[in-house]
Structure 1
C-alpha cells in the first residue's frame, strides 16, 4: 500500500474515533456536564421562535438569541410575517414561557446587537435542536459558535426527511 494512502486511511479512522467519542460524550438530547459557563433562568417572555427574555433573581432581564437556529420572522421591522413564523413562535411560547431553563454559552457570549447567545436546555433537552427537529427552524451558525452544529443539523435533516412544517412540500 502506498504511503499517502496509508496516511489517509489512518486520518479517516482517527476522525471516526473522535466523532464517535464526541457523540457518546454529548448525544443530541442527553444531559450535559454542568460547568461554570451554564446558568439557570426563568423564561419571562418569548419574543419570537428563536429569541426569548429570561430573568434570574437579582439580575436584570436578559434578551437571549438561540444559537444555531433561525426561525421564520414574526416581529422583524419592515418584514412581513413569514410562513411558519407564528407556529415557531407559538411552539417556543408553549414550551418555554415561565419555565426554568439552563443557558449554555459557546465561544462568544453576545452578538453585535448585545443579545446573549446561548443553547437553551429545558430539562435534558436542548430546545435549539427541538425547534429544528420540529421543522420550525433552519440550522444557521455564525463562527465561532458551533459547538452543537452536528446535533442541530441532524435534527434539521430529520425534519426535512419527514417534510415537517417549513420543509413541507
Structure 2
C-alpha cells in the first residue's frame, strides 16, 4: 500500500541517505555536508526550519519531499518552496512523486498559500516532463542567483565594514 505521511524523527537517517542518492543523481556526489544531527535539528528541533513528507510502500520509505515556507510580498501570503523531491529509482513510476507533490499542493491550498515552487536542473528532462504533466510550468524571464563559499563570506565581510 502506498502512503504519504509527515516525516518522523526516526526517518532522518533514511531521508539523509536519499539526499545523498539525489546528489549522486544530480552529478554532485561529494556535495552533501548535511548530517543526521543537523537534519534532525532542522526538522524536529525547537524551531523547525524545514518540513518533510515521505512516501511509503509496504512500510518502506520510497521517496521524500523536503520543503520550507517562502513568502510572496505581492500576494501577501506564504508559499511552499520544494527544496528536494526524490524517489528511489526502483520505485519510480509507482506514483510516489506525484503523491508527494499532491500532498504539498493540498497543504498549500488548505492553508491559503499562493504557490508551490521548485527548481529543476536544465538537463533533467525526465523530471521536467513529469512536472509539466502535472500542470507545472517553468518560470521564464528569471535567473537563479546564489552567494556561497568565498563569495558569501567575502561579501559579508565587505558589507560589515
Name the TM-score, length of structure 2 as normaliser: 0.31
Higher helix share: 2
Name the TM-score, length of structure 1 as normaliser: 0.30
- Which structure would you say has the larger Rg? 1
- Greater RCO (Cα-Cα under 8 Å, separation 6 or more): 1
